[in-house]
Amino acid sequence: MTRPIARIASRGSPLALTQSRLVRSALAKAHGWPEGETETMCPIIAIKTTGDRIQDRPLVDAGGKGLFVKEIEEALLSGAADIAVHSMKDMPAIQPPGLIISAVLEREDPHDVFVGSDRQPFARLKPNAKLGTSSVRRQAQALRARPDLEIVSLRGNVETRLAKLARGEANGIMLARAGLTRLGIRPDGAEVLADWLPALCQGAIGIEIREDDQHAARLLAPIDHRDTHVAIACERGFLATLDGSCRTPIAGLARVVGQALQFRGEVLTTDGRTFWTASRDIASAVREAADEAGRDAAREILERAGDALPRF
| Residues annotated as part of the active site | 90
Residue 152 identity: V
User: Under 8 Å CB-to-CB from 130, ≥6 apart: which residues?
Assistant: 149, 150, 151, 152, 169, 170, 171, 172
Nearest to 245 by CA among 291, 199, 197: 199
Give me the amino acid identity at 48. Answer: K
- Alpha helices per DSSP H over the chain: 14-31, 38-41, 50-53, 70-78, 136-145, 158-166, 177-183, 214-220, 226-242, 287-305
- The 112-116 sheet, strands edge to edge: 150-152, 130-132, 172-176, 112-116, 191-192
Which DSSP category does 127 fall into?
T
Contact indicator for 178, 104 with CB cutoff of 8 Å: no
